[in-house]
């Protein structure tokens, strides 16, 4: 970024109101809705004016929103990119306009020169932790796994699939027999799980479900129950996000494990922007948030209460 950009951004910081455009994917999951809530809270706390755009999970809406933010001359842009490809042109336009862009919770395949920083978890690690948990849980017994993938072409769907496969790589007893996108939503998670159950002898041939997010797992749990099976026992359930509802399922014994993803990506993002506005400090290209495994042994009811306060 040109140094003159830093100076003009310093001027922006000096102004009473910094304006940030936020292109949010949508509200496809409880986690996504919490991220939006927390981002608005963090902006208000900092006296930042947030121009919010909900893309309804459509990339063309996000690109249009970014172009609108650029035309408005916002001081910075936050974007959670619904898919990983197709961002070069609009990111180049933002760079031309000397507007720093920060990625939230998903990555793009564009050059890192085209964004100031990215805030998110190690998505491959999350999938690996889920796979390693299953390896330990089945302890060598044969296990046919069905997988609910996130949004096709999104970095979490790509990376969480790769990570899970790494996690089970050494266990010949575990096999992914069906894998399909549920687009990160409860409704599609239920629908796809119904198809998996029907295709797998009413579910009798399924040992475990790996879902790329808790919302799809919660929908799948409903389908498992409607098929007359006991989720968490007949079919093990492991997923990612650690939303409050998965802790309810853990407490009821209907889910077995989740990997936490914090909904507060905006705090680190705004902190990096503040330092950049103040004196041109360049942040690391990737600001990693923590991932933690929770199981039925980790006080699910207490974690439900604690996670309810994180923006949900
Ligand atoms: C992952 C994030 C995912 C969440 C889902 O970083 O992009 O998007 O895991 C959400 O709940 O839809």
Tell whether ligand 1 has an atom less than 6 A from the beta carbon of residue 303.
Answer: no
Tell whether ligand 1 has an atom less than 6 A from the beta carbon of residue 216.
Answer: no
CA angle 310, 231, 311 (to 5 degrees): 10
Tell whether ligand 1 has an atom less than 6 A from the beta carbon of residue 245.
Answer: no
- Asked if 243 and 307 count as a contact pair (C-beta separation under 8 A), the reply is yes
Q: Atom 9 of ligand 1 has which residue's CA nearest to it? A: 213
- Asked if 90 and 60 count as a contact pair (C-beta separation under 8 A), the reply is no
pTM of the model: 0.95
Q: Atom 2 of ligand 1 has which residue's CA nearest to it? A: 105
Tell whether ligand 1 has an atom less than 6 A from the beta carbon of residue 241.
Answer: yes
Closest ligand 1 atom to 31 CA: 11
Tell whether ligand 1 has an atom less than 6 A from the beta carbon of residue 105.
Answer: yes
How many angstroms separate the alpha carbon of residue 32 from the centre of ligand 1?
6
What burial letters (b/e) apply to 80-93, b meaning 16+ CB within 10 Å? bbbbbebbeebbeb
Closest ligand 1 atom to 214 CA: 11
Closest ligand 1 atom to 243 CA: 11
How many angstroms separate the alpha carbon of residue 35 from the centre of ligand 1?
10
Cα separation of the two ends of the chain: 36
Choose which residue among 105, 121, 258 to substitute to test ligand 1 binding: the one with the highest number of ligand atoms within 8 A of its C-beta: 105
Could you read off the pLDDT tens digit of each residue along the chain, which spans 312 residues? 334 344 444 444 544 589 999 999 999 999 999 999 999 999 999 999 999 999 999 999 999 999 999 999 999 999 999 999 999 999 999 999 999 999 999 999 999 999 999 999 999 999 999 999 999 999 999 999 999 999 999 999 999 999 999 999 999 999 999 999 999 999 999 999 999 999 999 999 999 999 999 999 999 999 999 999 999 999 999 999 999 999 999 999 999 999 999 999 999 999 999 999 999 999 999 999 999 999 999 999 999 999 999 999
Q: At which residue do the structure tokens 């690109």 appear?
A: 63
Q: Atom 8 of ligand 1 has which residue's CA nearest to it? A: 32
Tell whether ligand 1 has an atom less than 6 A from the beta carbon of residue 186.
Answer: no
How many angstroms separate the alpha carbon of residue 8 from the centre of ligand 1?
34
ipTM for the predicted complex: 0.99
């Amino acid at each position: 970024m040109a140094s003159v950009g830093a100076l003009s951004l310093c001027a922006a910081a000096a102004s009473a109101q910094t304006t940030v455009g936020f292109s949010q994917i949508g509200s496809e999951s409880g986690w996504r809705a919490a991220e939006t809530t927390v981002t608005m809270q963090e902006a208000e706390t900092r006296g930042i004016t947030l121009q919010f755009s909900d893309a309804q999970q459509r990339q063309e809406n996000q690109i249009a929103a970014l172009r609108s933010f650029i035309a408005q001359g916002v001081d910075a842009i936050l974007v959670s990119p619904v898919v990983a490809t197709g961002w070069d042109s609009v990111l180049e336009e933002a760079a031309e306009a000397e507007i720093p862009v920060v990625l939230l919770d998903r990555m793009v395949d564009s050059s890192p020169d085209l964004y100031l920083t990215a805030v998110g978890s190690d998505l491959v690690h999350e999938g690996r932790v889920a796979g390693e948990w299953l390896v330990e849980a089945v302890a060598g017994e044969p296990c046919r796994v069905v997988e609910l993938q996130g949004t096709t072409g999104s970095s979490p769907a790509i990376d969480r699939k790769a990570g899970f496969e790494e996690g089970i790589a050494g266990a010949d007893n575990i096999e992914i027999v069906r894998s399909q996108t549920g687009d990160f939503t409860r409704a599609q998670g239920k629908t796809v799980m119904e198809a998996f159950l029907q295709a797998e002898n009413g579910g009798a041939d399924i040992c475990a479900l790996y879902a790329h997010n808790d919302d799809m797992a919660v929908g799948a749990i409903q389908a498992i129950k409607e098929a007359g099976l006991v989720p968490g026992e007949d079919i093990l359930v492991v997923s990612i996000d650690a939303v409050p509802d998965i802790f309810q399922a853990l407490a009821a014994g209907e889910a077995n494990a989740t990997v936490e993803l914090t909904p507060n990506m905006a705090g680190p993002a705004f902190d990096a922007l503040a330092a950049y506005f103040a004196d041109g400090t360049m942040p690391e290209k990737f600001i990693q948030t923590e991932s933690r495994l929770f199981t039925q042994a980790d006080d699910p009811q207490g974690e439900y209460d604690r996670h309810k306060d994180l923006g949900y």
